[in-house]
A and B are shown apart, each in its own frame.
Chain A
């Protein structure tokens, strides 16, 4: 049939229907007249005429369905009917929609997160060609690259199109409004060409401009451009005062090219050669410099690794003192960016998928239970001439309607979920900026809700239409096919099993977190605030003694702020924060000829009150005093790991070590307990754990010159000053308007952040497990209610024949218990297999932790019993007279 006549048909819908009615009526009248003239009674004549038509409504539908409007009209009819049916059963409808909204909503919300982090392509050209570079050395798999090594790598390799390095840095920006701290990156010239970034205006750095001694130039981010120059192109060529030095602005970089897109976006990019660090030209220096490189077309990771092995082996032969044992560590860019988040997100995505499946099973089983109640309705409709296809379509319409409403509400839930997830997200979650509900996610939800509609609509639809009409009508709704009951039971068992898996996962994460919280970090994080202070730029030219004087003034000033109990500068490592290491040798050794024969230790450069700030107890000897200053003999305090590793059972007090930096012989005057520098869980597994404390004021002069740009400060307060940081800021301004303090974090925040990925996954798993538990108990409640409803008659007979209430209780509860037990057994087996996938996220608890498994089984068992309680009570109260008379 041509589309044209169909279309024309749509205009004539009403006329058509009238025509058809009248035509059929005239046909019947003619047959009646003929029948009468053939000798039939008028009554028989009419009956015969009508019988020949069979079902005149069906006929009309068949005739009309050749029209598209007819088809649409039927759909609209189905739709209206579905709405009516669903409104007539508000309990069922609400539960079904609620179930779906939660399932779809959580799924979409979480998919948004995964989509943002894992699936969205990186904003760089051909990101698959990018790798990150680091030096692999004895204590670090992905350590810092020294500048001279980078230059040689760049020159000698055959596999990279381009290679660049960068290092995070902080500058004090002055001359444009208030002095402020800006986040900076020191980069080599190729940095942006490796990433494939073009400046918004101006240019990037040209080759050679990153050399030491080149003219000072700077690139800024679009954000800073807007903030300081109102995005005016006139900004090009202007000068920016960073740490008191003037840099010429040559270009603006779009925000998306900020490499790690962290909470603190980069504001300025400066050629690395501008860095006045004396270590920059030292081949063995570890200055926190990391690289990024782009493969030549067609080069594989293996080829690149092999080539870099050749390059680094040559360098090791040429500079054995520095490069012995140093290799290149290559990590695919996306993996490096995502770090350990990928398995976590995939585990959670799996969990969320389970919840959606449970939701769908639940609605399917609800639909099944209900379609049983409607058996008679369907039988009657078939008897009245409804085709099988029409019935299936009717049921599908109902379930699709449910799925669409559920999906729509789910979208709202998803909006909340995404927002909540973003709030809970670990602050350092990579690419958090990419997470929002976007069109991909919308399509995903749409697909899921339609799929769910068809999935749970189909089973009941197929079953319902498979009716033996006469049987059903005869049975008057009593007793029904066992297969439907079986399907429902299978759904419930599967739901239970999935709930077990989720509960076990959540349980294991909860146990892990409680284990981790129990770990003592080696200090008391309560009421400790860390932040950075940067001295005025003019100080960079000052003498080390002037710097020391400034810091003494800073310490005194902060110490006088109300609520502050103790203050210490911290130039080296910060527990669970940035680390810092020193090479040294013991006093019974001569100076080793190569660094490989020296020892590494984590170093904390602090002031006398540091132990008070951190509440680290003293194990032996003494800690520094103000008398241990630049004029007195060098002293150090070591931790117990250091003592055990280097002095065994002998007394370390009074022994000497010599640091490579400055080559000063230093006396060990005290021992303190170990601090978990590398994190609560991973510290024990680290190679480098020895720790040494040296007085800040005894920093060798070259190091003190570097410290003039700024240092970290740690403050213990008594908790009485709510606006502590503001008070500190005020005190700081009183010292100098050009002096900035920034980056405040409490030690508790730092510890909490180190657990945030796990806490995030535990919260989510717990939410999903709770959802699964609720949904599956609704499921088992539905099945048992249905069973009781089916067996009311039987129970009545049993009671009439003398069965006690207790027997009835057993009868019903054993049904529920059987389902629950089967679900738990399957779930436990599945969990044993699946939790192995999350072994890496666990700490101090095995992935088959018996306590968790037994606990989960018990919880689920109890919940099942509770869910069975109401229908069981109904069964026990069956009045035999009523039950029998009902038939």
Chain B
């Protein structure tokens, strides 16, 4: 399957999802919109990756899902961050910062 070039980098999806949910419960579609908007259309979340990722995170206990009603009165599944999820988010943010710093360092001095 051919993926668009600006698809979310493998491995960062979890971080972005967790961060998005840190602001409050969101449904899957909302998460894609949220990431696309905040990244100014640079990052796009593939639906084909998002749902398996959400499912996995739910099973790992980072997020919880429950049925709710959307802004337009549509039934939708909302995802909440759990305590474990918050810890995981902090971890992933730290390691992301380390990674970008390291890359920036290389770009600067190499």
Residues of A within 8 A of B (CB): 1-2, 5-6, 9, 19-20, 22-24, 26-27, 29-31, 33, 52-55, 58-59, 62-63, 66
**Closest chain B residue to A387, Cβ basis:** B1
Q: In the complex, what distance in Å separates the CA atom of A66 from the CA atom of B52?
A: 8
The yes or no answer to B74 lying at the interface (CB within 8 A) is: yes
Q: List 24 A-B contacts (CB under 8 A).
A: A1-B56, A1-B60, A5-B59, A9-B59, A22-B75, A26-B27, A26-B29, A26-B74, A26-B77, A27-B28, A27-B47, A27-B76, A30-B70, A30-B76, A31-B29, A33-B72, A52-B46, A54-B1, A54-B47, A58-B48, A59-B52, A62-B52, A63-B51, A63-B52
Contact partner, B75, options A1, A26, A55, A62, Cβ 8 Å = A26
Cβ–Cβ < 8 Å partners of A22 in chain B: 75, 77
CB distance from A148 to the nearest CB of B (A): 85
B residues 19-72 touching A (CB-CB < 8 Å): 27-29, 46-48, 51-52, 55-56, 59-61, 65, 70, 72
Residue on B nearest A65 in the bound complex, by CB: B52
User: In angstroms, how far is the closest chain A Cβ from the Cβ of B26?
Assistant: 12
CB-based contact B77/A5 at 8 Å? no
Known: A6-B59, A30-B72, A66-B52. 7 other contacts (CB 8 A): A5-B59, A26-B29, A27-B28, A30-B70, A33-B72, A59-B47, A59-B51
The 10 closest A-B pairs by CB, nearest first: A30-B29, A23-B77, A63-B52, A27-B29, A5-B59, A53-B47, A62-B52, A26-B76, A63-B55, A54-B48
Which B residues lie within 8 Å of A31 (CB)? 29
In the bound complex, do residue B74 and residue A52 qualify as a contact, i.e. CB atoms below 8 Å apart?
A: no
Residue positions of B touching A, CB distance < 8 A: 1, 27-29, 46-48, 51-52, 55-56, 59-61, 65, 70, 72, 74-77
Pick from B52, B60, B65 the residue with the most CB of A within 10 Å: B52
User: Given A9-B59, A23-B28, A26-B27, is A62 in contact with B77 using a C-beta cutoff of 8 Å?
Assistant: no
Q: Are the C-beta atoms of B61 and A59 separated by less than 8 Å? A: no
B85 to nearest A CB, angstroms? 14
Expressed in whole angstroms, the Cα–Cα distance for A537 and B76 within the complex equals: 104
What are the residues of chain B within 8 A of A62 when measuring CB–CB? 48, 52
Q: Which of B51, B60, B61, B74 contacts A30 (CB 8 A)?
A: B74
A31 to B55 CA separation, bound complex (whole angstroms):
20
Minimum CB–CB distance from A5 to chain B (whole Å) comes to 5
Q: Is the CB of B51 within 8 A of A66?
A: no
Report A-chain residues with C-beta under 8 Å of the C-beta of B70. 26, 30
Q: Is the CB of B60 within 8 A of A23?
A: no
Most chain B CB within 10 A, of A6, A26, A31, A33, is at A26
Alpha-carbon separation in the docked complex, A1 to B62 (Å): 11
Q: How far is the CB of A63 from chain B (nearest CB, A)?
A: 5
A23 contacts across to B, CB distance below 8 A: 28, 51, 76-77
| Residue in B closest to A30 when the chains form the complex, CB atoms | B29
Given A26-B75, A26-B77; A53-B48 close (CB under 8 Å): yes
- Residues of the A chain whose Cβ atoms lie less than 8 Å from the Cβ of B61: 2, 5
Contact at B28–A66, with CB atoms within 8 Å? no
Contact A66 B56 (CB under 8 A): yes
Q: How far is the CA of A27 from the CA of B46 in the complex (A)?
A: 12
User: Do A52 and B47 form a contact, CB below 8 Å, given A27-B29, A62-B52?
Assistant: yes
**Residues in chain A near residue B51, CB distance under 8 A:** 20, 23-24, 59, 63
Residue among A9, A20, A54 with max Cβ neighbours from chain B (10 Å): A54
Tell me the bound Cα distance from A53 to B51 in angstroms.
Answer: 10
The smallest C-beta distance from B38 to any residue of chain A, in angstroms, reads 17
Chain A residues, CB < 8 A from B56:
1, 66
The CA-CA distance from A22 to B51 in the complex, in Å, is 12
What residues of chain A lie closer than 8 Å to B72, measured between beta carbons?
30, 33
Residue of B nearest to A64 (CB): B55
Least distance between B78 CB and chain A CB atoms (Å): 10
Which residues from A are CB-within-8-Å of B74? Answer: 26, 29-30
Instruction: Name the residue on B nearest A54 (C-beta).
Output: B48
Whether the pair A1, B59 counts as a contact (CB closer than 8 A) is yes
Q: Closest approach, in angstroms, between the C-beta of A446 and any C-beta of chain B?
A: 35
User: How far, in whole Å, are A22 and B75 apart by their CA atoms in the complex?
Assistant: 9
Contacts of A53 in B (CB 8 A): 47-48
State the CA gap A58–B59 with chains docked (Å). Answer: 20
Measured between alpha carbons, how far is A63 from B48 in the docked complex, in Å? 9
Q: Which single residue of chain B is at the shortest CB-CB distance from A6?
A: B59
CB closest residue in chain B, given A26: B76
A66, B55: Cβ atoms closer than 8 Å: yes
C-alpha spacing A33/B72, complex, angstroms: 10
Task: Decide: A19 near B60, CB < 8 A? Known: A52-B47, A63-B51, A63-B55.
Answer: no
Residues of A within 8 A of B46 (CB): 52
| Chain B residues, CB < 8 A from A2 | 59-61
A26–B60 Cα distance when bound, in Å, is 24
Q: Which residues of the partner chain A approach B55 to less than 8 Å between Cβ atoms?
A: 20, 63, 66
**Chain A nearest CB, measured from B96 CB (Å):** 22
| Assembly CA distance A23 to B28 (angstroms) | 8
Q: From residue A52, how far is it (CB to closest CB) to chain B in Å?
A: 5
